[in-house]
Every structure is written in C-alpha cells, then in structure tokens.
Amino acid sequence: MKNSSKAKSDKSRIQLLHQYYQYTGFYVFVGNAVKKAIPYILGIVLLIWGLNYFFNINEFLVQITEMLPAYGVLSFFFVSETLLGLVPPEIFIAWSDKTSDPWFNLSILALLSYAGGLLAYWMGRSITKIESVHHYLEVKMEKQLKNSKKWGGFLIVVGALLPLPFSISCIAAGIIKFPFRGVILYGSLRLLRFAIYGLIIFNAI
C-alpha cells in the first residue's frame, strides 16, 4: 500500500510540474528557443565542416597544444571559452592527459572555462548598453525577455553540461540580464562536466 501511495504521490507531483510548465509557458519558450537556434547551429556546423574539408581543424588544434607551452595552451583555451567557445574543450582535456599532472591541469581548464563563461556574461551585459540593442530588447522583445529571464537558469544548465558553447549561453544570460548569482550557481555545473569528461578521457572508469 505504501509503495502504491508513493507512486500516486510522485505521479501527482509530475502532473503538477507539467501543468506549471504549461501555465508558465516553459514548453513554448524552449520550443521557440530551439527553432531560433537551429539556423545558427546549422550555420556554425556548416562553417566548421567547410573549414575542416579544406583544413584539418582538429589536427591543427592538436598541433597548437603540442607547440605551445602549458601557459600558452591555457591562455588560448581561456580566450576560446570566453569568445563563443567554438573550439571543443575535449581537445584541451586530451592535452591535459599527456601532461605530467593531468588532474591538476584538468582542474585549471575547468576553472578557466567557468571563469570564461562568467566573463562572457558581462560581455552580454555590455552589449545591452548599446542604444539600438537596448531599444530592441526593451520594446520589441519585452515579452520574450520576460520568459527568458524566467527560464534563464535552464539556458545556463544546458550550456554548462551539454556539448554546446558555454560562453554563448552566458552571453545570452547577460543580454537578458539574468541574475549573476544564478549564473554563478548554475554555471558551476561546468566543473562537473569537466570532471566527467576527465574520467572518460583519462580511462579512469
């Protein structure tokens, strides 16, 4: 009987959560965000594919990590993670595996990625100070901004955990003026992603 009542309770909670998401427009927000993001994602994918067709990008990046000293690799990674984050972090994680202290360097990479995302947030906030952008957001995008602020945490979590550019999520959070404390909290999941990738790439599990 207890298991039955617990199952009903869990089901009712899920139903309530589902109704809440419907009422607050969460599903519509996510759907619209995905629709708007698809053309940009496809554009970036095609651009990378085109460049990789003529130049082996991954091989080039691996060569960079082999040529540069440790501080150079870390600096290059920090700039990448701050400015759109289009260079796959896995390349740098693989680099850290070849160093004398893999977990130390992986920890530095994770902190730099996290810090780059926080800096990208303030870049997004700076963009909103441009008069034309400010007018567009406050007047034409007022309704969308309200929903974005409501679900900005979801945006940060997706960018932190999934293989998507973390800095782009943080820039978007800055543009919609999502609370910085929330970015600090949700963005810390970025550290978890690096730990998981490290365990996989280092063959520790």
- pLDDT for 132 equals 66
If pLDDT is split at 50, 70 and 90, which confidence band does 165 have? Answer: confident
Instruction: Judge if 50 and 71 occupy the same domain.
Output: no
Task: For residue 56, report the phi and psi dihedrals to the nearest 5 degrees.
Answer: -75, 95
Instruction: Judge if 35 and 129 occupy the same domain.
Output: no
Instruction: Judge if 97 and 196 occupy the same domain.
Output: yes
Instruction: Judge if 34 and 73 occupy the same domain.
Output: no
**How much of the chain exceeds pLDDT 70, in percent?**
58
> Final residue of a domain: which of 20, 35, 55?
55
If pLDDT is split at 50, 70 and 90, which confidence band does 205 have? Answer: very low
Q: Which residue has the higher pLDDT, 169 or 115?
A: 115
Question: Which residues are within 8 A (CB) of 142 and not within 5 positions of it... i.e. 6 or more apart?
Answer: none
- pLDDT for 128 equals 73
Instruction: Judge if 66 and 143 occupy the same domain.
Output: yes
Dihedral of alpha carbons 192, 196, 199, 202, sign = negative
One-letter amino acid for residue 90 of the chain: E
Give residue-wise pLDDT tens across range 120-142: 999 888 877 777 655 555 555 55
Q: What is the mean pLDDT of residues 84-106?
A: 84
**What single DSSP character describes residue 71?**
H
Q: Which residue has the higher pLDDT, 175 or 181?
A: 181
Instruction: Judge if 49 and 87 occupy the same domain.
Output: no
- pLDDT for 124 equals 83
SS3 25: coil
Asked whether residue 42 carries a pLDDT value surpassing 60, the answer given is: yes
SS3 200: helix
Instruction: Judge if 85 and 129 occupy the same domain.
Output: yes
Instruction: Judge if 194 and 117 occupy the same domain.
Output: yes
Average pLDDT, the chain: 74
Answer for the pair 29, 147: CB distance below 8 angstroms, yes or no. yes
User: How many domains in the chain?
Assistant: 2
Instruction: For residue 15, give its domain range.
Output: 1-55
How far apart (Å, rounded) are the C-alpha atoms in residues 69 and 36? Answer: 40
Asked whether residue 37 carries a pLDDT value surpassing 70, the answer given is: no
